[in-house]
Structure 1
Amino acid sequence: MIHLQEWESKHKSILILNEKLSFIDTESEKEVLIIFHEFGASSFNYYKIINELKQHYRVIIPDLIGFGLSSKPQNYYNSILDHAQILIEFINLLNINRFSTLSHGFGTSVLSEFLNIIKTNALNIKVKEIFLLNGSLTIETTNHKSFEDIIDNELTNKFIKITISYELFKKYYRESLGKKDAITEDEFKVLWQLQNRNNGGRIIKFIDYSIKERKLYCEKWIEILKLYQNQIQIIWGKDDVLSNLSSVEKLKNILNITEVYTLEDCGHFPMMEKPKQLSKLILHLKN
C-alpha cells in the first residue's frame, strides 16, 4: 500500500491552458503506454500495476483536470471534448507521437475524442495498441433511449451519492467490486482524499454533462474506434454490475472484435481488484 504523501511525491505537473495537469511518468526509452482513467478516479487507481508494466513500457498516467492531483477549477463541466484537447496538448509538450493506450469507462470516451482530433486534424500521431477496460462505451453502445435514461439516472445518482460521505463512498464503490474486500480501508482513504482534495467533490456533480456528450457523440466515437479495430484488445472484469457482460458483448459486436478477455471474481476496477492478472494479460497481448 502506498500513502498519499508518497504518491504525490511521484507526480510531476505541467501547466496547460492555465490549469495544472498532474501526472505519473516512469521516464524511460521504452515504448510509451498512456492510461486514460475513469470518471471520479485518477492515476492512483493504477498504482498496483505500474511496477509490472514499467518493465516493458514507459507508463504515463495523467490525472484529468478536475480529478486526482490536477487542478479542480470551480464550475468545471468535465467536457470530454476539453479533456481530449488538453491531452493532445499534453503529449505534444512531452514530445510523444507514438504510443499505446489503456482506458477505462469514461476514459475510453476521452480516448475516442482524442483519436477523433488526431484524425480530423491529420496529426502526426501514431496509436499502436488500444486496451479497453470495463465501462468502455457502455452508454454509447446502448441503442434504446429508455435504457440510456436508466444508465444515465443510475450513474448520476451513484456519483452524487459518493460525494456525500465517506461511508456512502465506500458503500457504492464496494457494490461495483467482484469481491467486497478487493479494495482495502487504507486504499479507500486515499481514494476519498483524492476525490475531495481542493473541494473536488463538487466536480463529480457535473457528471450529467459528460453523459450528455457521450449520447451526443456516440456514433462519431464508435466510427473512430472501428478504424482501430485490429489494434483493440478488450479486457473485462466478469462480475461488473455497472457494465456487465452483455455490455461488453455489444461493444465486441459493434467494433467487430473477435475476442474478449475476462477476469474472474473481478468487478468494475480490474486495475485494483486483479492487478497481477491484468498486468500479465496486457503484457501477453502486447505486440
Structure 2
Amino acid sequence: MSVLNWKKKGEFINVFGHSIFVIDSNTLSNTSNNTKDVLVLLHGYPTSSYDYYKVLPDLAQQYRVIMHDHLGFGFSEKPLDYSYSLIEQADIALQLWKQLGLKKVTLCAHDYGTSVATEILARDNMEELTIKIKQLILCNGSMHIELSQLRTIQILLKNKWTGKWVAKLTNYPIFRRNLRNVFFDKRKVSEVELQDMWFQLEYNNGRKVIHLLSNYINERYYFWHRWIGALKESQIPTKIVWARNDPVAVAAIASLLATEIPNNALHWIEDTGHFPMLENPEEWKRYILDK
C-alpha cells in the first residue's frame, strides 16, 4: 500500500490545538460498531502509524483499531517550537482517546511508543486515568535504555550540539541504510516502503524537528525510575512480544522485563529484526490477537 493511500484512510483531529493524523477502523468499515474491544497502537521512531499497514486488516477483524501519528511524526503536525517530550506525547494520546470516547482499551506499543505507554502506565498506577487499560502489549522498545544498542546516528541526533547539524545533513541514502540495517532479513523491506517512510519523515518540514524528537533517548534515562517503576508496580496483564534478532532493542531487554513485570507472558519472534510487524507480520499479529 502506498503511503498516500494510507493517508486517505485517516483523518485529522485537533488535539490541544495541534493537527493529529488518526486512523480508526470503524471509519474504514463505514460502521459505528462499538461492540468490539478497542486496540490502540503506538508507533515507533522515526516512522509513523504506517508501520502497521500490513497487519491492520486482520487486527480490525477482531478489534476496533485506533492509531495515530505522534506529534512531529508522519502526517501529524510538526511545530518547530515544541519540546516533543514523551510526557506530552502521552498527554496527546490520552486526550485523543478521550475525544474519541474510549473507555477501555488494549494498549499495544512499539519502540518509541513503549515509553509513551510506560508514562501512561505510571499515571494509571496513581489512579489518574479516566480510561481503563485492559491489557498491555510491549514490542521491541528500549525501555531499559542502558541495554540498548543505539545506532551512531541516534547518538548524534540526541546530542544538543550535533543533533541539528546531523538532521540537516541526513538524506535518503543515510536513512535507507540505517533502516535496512535494523531488519534481520533485509529483503523483507522494499525500496518502496523505505521511500514511503522517508516521505513521511520529510513531510511538512519534518527534518527540521527530527533532532528534537531524538531527545526521547535522553528522557529514557531521566525518567528511568518512573517508567521502569511503573512496569514493576502494574497489575495489568502484559504481553511482551519481541523480535529476538533486534540489533537495537536487544533480546536482553525483553528477558529482563519478563523478570520485572508481575503479570506477563513473553513471546519470541525468531529470525526477525526491529520492525516485526513489517518483517514478520503473520507471526506478530498472531501473538497480538491470541487471547
Shift of the 5–228 alpha-carbon distance from structure 1 to 2, 3 Å rule, reads same
Contact 1:78 1:203 in 2 (8 A): no
Displacement of 1:151 in angstroms is 4.2
Question: Which of 190, 195, 201 is matched with 2:196 structurally?
Answer: 190
Report the Cα offset of residue 121 of structure 1. Answer: 5.4
TM-aligned CA distance change 1:281 to 1:121, over 3 Å: closer
| Displacement of 1:124 | 2.9
Q: In structure 2, which of residues 52, 57, 60 is the aligned counterpart of residue 46 of structure 1?
A: 52
How does 1:1-287 map onto structure 2 within 5 Å? 2-27=1-26, 28-29=33-34, 30-120=36-126, 122-139=128-145, 142=146, 151=150, 155-157=154-156, 164-229=170-235, 231-256=237-262, 259-284=265-290, 286=291
Deviation at 1:173, TM superposition (A): 0.6
Aligned position for 2:29: none
SS of the residue corresponding to residue 209 of structure 2 reads helix
Q: Secondary structure of 2:55's partner? A: helix
Offset of 1:202 from its aligned partner?
Answer: 2.2
In 1, the alpha carbon distance for the partners of 2:86 and 2:101 equals: 23
Distance in 2 (alpha carbons) for counterparts of 1:155 and 1:247: 18
Residue identity over aligned pairs, in percent, reads 30
* CA displacement at 1:253 relative to structure 2: 1.9
Contact map agreement 1:156 1:207 (CA 8 A) in 2: no
SS in 2 for 1:48: coil
Question: Are the structure 2 counterparts of residues 275 and 263 from structure 1 closer, same or farther at C-alpha, using a change threshold of 3 Å?
Answer: same
The answer (yes or no) to whether the contact 2:239–2:264 under 8 Å persists in 1 is no
Q: Is the 8 A contact 2:238 2:265 kept in 1?
A: no
Shift of residue 97 of structure 1? Answer: 1.5
Q: What is the TM-score of this pair, normalised by structure 2?
A: 0.88
User: How far apart are residue 115 of structure 1 and its match?
Assistant: 2.4
How many residues of Structure 1 are paired with residues of Structure 2 in the alignment? Answer: 277
C-alpha distance in structure 2 between counterparts of 1:208 and 1:6, whole Å: 28
Aligned-partner Cα distance in 2 for 1:194–1:203: 13
1:189-244 per-residue CA deviation (whole Å, 9 max, x = no partner) reads 11110011011122221244222221111111122223335511101111111122
Structure 2 CA distance for aligned equivalents of residues 189 and 239 of structure 1: 24
The aligned residue for residue 30 of structure 2 is none
d(CA) in 1 for partners of 2:214 and 2:23? 28
Residue 153 of structure 1: CA displacement? 6.1
Kept in 2: contact 1:84–1:114 (CA 8 A):
yes
Distance in 2 between the 1:44 and 1:262 partners? 23
Letter in 2 for 1:39: Y
CA distance in 2, matches of 1:14, 1:153: 35
Q: What TM-score do you get using the length of structure 1 for normalisation? A: 0.89
Q: CA deviation at 1:76?
A: 3.0
Unaligned runs of at least 5 residues, structure 1: none
CA RMSD of aligned residues (A): 2.2
